[in-house]
Amino acid sequence: MTSAGPHDFARARRIVKTDEFSSVFRLRPAQKTPHFVLYARANTLAHARLGVVVAKRFAPRAVTRNTIKRVARELFRVSGLPALDLIVRLSGPVNSKAGPATGTALKVQLRAELARLFAAPVLRAPRP
């Protein structure tokens, strides 16, 4: 299943190298929510790229970390952003080992926060 279009999430639309992550992390955060920080940097490509960082200390269960990554990638995929390198970083705990790994309420909250990040006016305005 290969989809080549503006709404795919092929390797070319991902930030994968350490130096690429570092160059975006050096900048100040573009947007913050209670659980996430978004870093953005203009790139020279024809499309936006995404990197997702989810630390185990903030989401101790792999199921939760994978859910966060999945939601972030899906919202990025359909957002239609300009040529930017974006990194979404989880910056606060979303649940503990004692609570449920994922649930409808958690998914709704994560989706709302991530949608707010990707809809930020900072990302829509062209950068000089």
pLDDT (average), residues 24-41: 85
**15 or 72: whose pLDDT is higher?**
72
Residue 5 has pLDDT above 90, yes or no: no
Q: According to the model, what pLDDT value does residue 66 have?
A: 92
Cα separation of 35 and 24, whole Å? 19
Average model confidence (pLDDT) for the chain?
Answer: 81
pLDDT digits (tens, 9 = 90+) for 48-89: 888 999 999 999 889 999 999 999 999 988 888 888 888 999
| Integer CA distances (angstroms), 98 to 27, 41, 49, 71, 84, in order | 35, 37, 35, 23, 38
Higher pLDDT, 36 or 99: 36
Q: Is 116:108 a contact under the CB 8 Å cutoff? A: no
Exposed / middle / buried, residue 92 (Cβ in 10 Å: 0-12, 13-18, 19+): exposed
